[in-house]
Amino acid sequence: MSDSSENIVVFDGVQKSYDGENLVVKDLNLDVRRGEFLTMLGPSGSGKTTVLMMLAGFEVPTYGQILLNGDPINTVPPHKRGIGMVFQNYALFPHMTVAENLAFPLTVRGFSKADAGDKVKKALEMVRLPEFGNRRPAQLSGGQQQRVAVARALVFEPDLVLMDEPLGALDKNLREEMQYEIKHIHESLGVSMVYVTHDQSEALTMSSRIAVFEDGIIQQLAAPDELYERPENAFVAAFIGENNRLTGEVKEENDDFCMVNLDGGGGVVKALKVNVDGVGSRTTLSLRPERVTVNPGEGVAPNRCPAKVQELIYLGDHIRTRVSVSGNDDFVVKIPNASGHASLKVGEEVTLGWEAEDCRALDA
C-alpha cells in the first residue's frame, strides 16, 4: 500500500456504478500527494465529480477502497472525515453573517468562542475580507461570496480541501482573478487540494498535476506543461489547449520517429512516434497552432505542406489564421503580431512548416 506520509489520499481499484451495470468510474488507482494541488479535469459525464463525491463521503464506492492519511474511509461519514469542501453554489447560510458562517464549522468541532473568533479573523484576512464579518451573504458580490466559501473550507485548518467547479458561476474576469487567489492561498498554506473542473485553462493555471478523465478512466496524469507538450493520446491532445489534427497512414518507422502519408494529398511528413500500431496503421497527428510557421525560410521547419488561407482574425498579440490543409479546413496557425501578417490574404496559397519533434503521431 502507498506510503501515507507521502500520499494523503489513495484510491485503490475504486469502481462506481449507480445501476449495477454501467461503471461511471472504472478501476481507479490514484494517489494524491501531500501538499499538492491536483485537478480532475474532463467533460461532463467523464466521472471526475463522482470521484470527488466518493472522496467527500457523499457517494460510496461500489468496489475498491479509499484511504485518507493511510486509513480506509469507505464507511466514514462526511462530517467525520475532516475535509474542507467548496461548492459551485457557495452553500452559505443566508440567515447568518459572514463571521457566523465561518464560525459554524469551528463550533461543531468544539472550538471555544475565543479560539473560533481568532480563526475567523485570520481566515477573513487570508481572503482579503477583514471588514466583511458582519455582513450577510446577500450583501456580497459573487466573488466575495466565493471568497467566504473558500475561507469556511479552510478555517478549521483541514489537511485536505475539495473544490467542485467552485468558479463556474463567476464571470470571466472574476473567474481568472479567483484562480490566482486560490492558487496563492494553496501556496501559502501548503494544504492539499483536489479540484474538479471542465475548464482546461483553469486546470493549467492552478494545478501541480492534472488527471484528465474520459469515460470513467484517467487518460493521462501529469504536470500541466507535460500534458500540453506531450499528450499521450488523441483525446488528451484535443482536450488540453488548442490542437490541430491531421490524419494519415504510417508509412515507415525509424527509432523514435515515423513517416506518415497524409490524407487528402498532403504528402509525407515526419512525426514523433508516440502511440501508433506499426507500419500500415492509421494515426492522428497532433500539432499545436503556435508551433507552425507560414512560408518558412530555407533550412527551417523540414516538414512542409501546401495550404490555403481561409480566415484571418486579429487578436492583438497574434493573428489567428485558419487554413485548409490535407483535407482539414479548420487547421489553425497562430502568427505573432510581429511577423508581417499584413502580407497574407484570404484565398492565398501558402506553405506550412513545422519540426518533426512538434508533431506527435497518436492513436487513430
- Do the domain assignments include residue 96? yes
Higher pLDDT, 356 or 298: 356
Q: Which of 234, 251, 278 is the last residue of a domain?
A: 234
Q: Is 325 left (phi over 0), alpha (psi -120 to 50) or beta?
A: beta
Tell me, yes or no, whether 229 and 246 share the same domain.
Answer: no
Most confident of 76-90, 99-113, 204-218: 204-218
pLDDT of 1 strictly over 60: no
- Cell numbers placing 192: 492539499
Q: Residue 340's pLDDT is what? A: 54
Domain final position from 234, 268, 284: 234
pLDDT for 339? 58
Same domain, 229 and 294: no
pLDDT of residue 169: 75
pLDDT confidence tier of residue 76, bands split at 50, 70 and 90: very high
Contact residues for 97 (Cβ-Cβ < 8 A; gap 6+):
133, 134, 135, 136
Q: Does any domain span residue 2?
A: no
Summarize the confidence of residues 76-88 as an average pLDDT: 91
Residue 181, pLDDT > 60, answer: yes
Q: What is the pLDDT of residue 2?
A: 45
Average pLDDT estimate for 111-125: 91
| Radius of gyration of the chain measured on its C-alpha atoms | 25
Read off the pLDDT of residues 242-255 as tens digits, 9 standing for 90 and up.
Answer: 999 999 999 999 98
Q: Indicate whether 122 and 207 sit together in one domain.
A: yes
Determine the average pLDDT of the residues in 229-246.
Answer: 93
C-alpha cell read off for 25: 468510474
Q: What number is the average pLDDT over the span 22-28?
A: 95
Same domain, 210 and 259: no
The mean pLDDT of 110-136, rounded to a whole number, is 92
Share of the chain above pLDDT 90, in %: 73
Please report the pLDDT score of residue 166 as a whole number: 87
Burial 39-52 (b: 16+ CB within 10 A, else e): bbbbeeebbbbbbb
* Residues 104 and 189 reside in one and the same domain: yes
Rounded CA-CA distance 97/94 in Å is 8
The yes-or-no verdict on residue 108 having pLDDT over 90 is: no
Domain boundary among 234, 254, 270: 234
What per-residue confidence (pLDDT) applies to 178? 86
Instruction: Give the rounded percent of residues in the chain with a pLDDT score beyond 70.
Output: 98
Q: Which of 61-65, 275-279, 300-304 has the lowest mean pLDDT?
A: 300-304
Q: In this structure, how many other beta carbons lie within 10 angstroms of the beta carbon of residue 125? A: 11
> Among 279, 249, 225, 257, which residue's Cα sits nearest to residue 356?
257
Counted domains in the chain = 2
Q: Residue 184 sits in which domain range?
A: 7-234
Residue 48 above 90 pLDDT? yes
Smallest Cα–Cα separation from 251: which of 274, 281, 273?
281
Residue 356 bridge partners (DSSP): none
Mean predicted lDDT score pLDDT of the chain? 91
Q: Is 1 part of any domain?
A: no
Range of weakest confidence among 46-55, 86-95, 194-203: 86-95
What pTM value is reported for the model? 0.89
191 & 249 share domain: no
Same domain, 71 and 161: yes
Q: Using 50, 70 and 90 to split pLDDT, how confident is the model at 121?
A: very high
Q: Which residues pair with 362 in a beta bridge?
A: 284
74 CB neighbour count, 10 Å cutoff: 13
181, 142: one domain: yes
**Could you identify the residue written with the cell 488523441?**
234
Residue 3 clears pLDDT 70, i.e. is over it: no
DSSP-derived 3-state class of residue 159: coil
Q: Which contacts of 259-265 are long-range, i.e. CB under 8 A and separated by 24 or more positions?
A: 260/285, 260/361, 262/305, 262/326, 263/326, 263/327, 264/325, 264/326, 264/327, 264/328, 265/326, 265/327
3-state SS, one letter per residue, for 116-152: HHHHHHHHHHHCCCCCCCCCCHHHCCHHHHHHHHHHH
Work out the average pLDDT over 71-78.
95
Strands 160-164 and 83-86: parallel
Tell me: do 198 and 279 sit in the same domain: no
DSSP letters, 224-278, are HHHHHHS-SSHHHHHHSS--EEEEEEEEEEETTEEEEEEGGG--EEEEEESS--S
**CATH number reported for the structural domain that contains residue 280 in this entry:** 2.40.50.100
Residues 173 and 314 in one domain: no
Residue pair 102/136 in contact (Cβ under 8 Å)? The answer is no
Residues 121 and 113: beta-carbon distance below 8 Å: no
pLDDT at 67: 97
- 267 with 348, same domain: the answer is yes
- The pLDDT of residue 337 is 83
Lowest mean pLDDT among 25-29, 221-225, 318-322: 318-322
Condensed to tens digits (0 to 9), the pLDDT of residues 280-331 reads 999 999 999 999 999 888 878 889 999 999 999 988 888 999 999 998 899 9
